[in-house]
Amino acid sequence: MAARFLTLADVAEVLNTSSAQVYALVRRGDLPAIKIGGRGQWRVESEQLEAYIQRMYAETRQFVDAHPYVEESAGADADARS
């Protein structure tokens, strides 16, 4: 059975990013979390993490649709860097 709540370090591992980046997501309200215990440790519910990932897929899809990849400009960019 999978854990219901994850530490920020666990979330960072799933997202392949740093704990500091996950903390920033939580503090900005992008990734819902709860603060527990006397020391105020953060926990992210696994369902909330999955919902966040799905939202990021949707946002990325919208970005790609609004900014289609055009091979001509990619080739021009490569030529400009040469």
Residue 41 lies in a domain: yes
The residue range of the domain holding 48 is 5-67
Residue 82's pLDDT is what? 57
Residue 73 lies in a domain: no
What whole-number distance in Å separates Cα of residue 41 and Cα of residue 6? 11
Residue 51 lies in a domain: yes
Residue 71's pLDDT is what? 85
Where residue 57 sits, what CATH number does that domain have? Answer: 1.10.1660.10
Four-residue CA torsion sign, 10, 15, 18, 21: negative
Residue 77's pLDDT is what? 59
Residue 48 lies in a domain: yes
Give the pLDDT means over successive 10-residue stretches in the chain (82 positions).
93 98 98 94 98 98 94 64 60
Residue 10 lies in a domain: yes
Residue 81's pLDDT is what? 62
* Long-range pairs for 27-36: beta carbons < 8 A, 24 or more residues apart: 33/8, 34/5
pTM check: above 0.85: no
Quote the number of domains for the chain.
1
Residue 45 lies in a domain: yes
Residue 35 lies in a domain: yes
Residue 75's pLDDT is what? 59
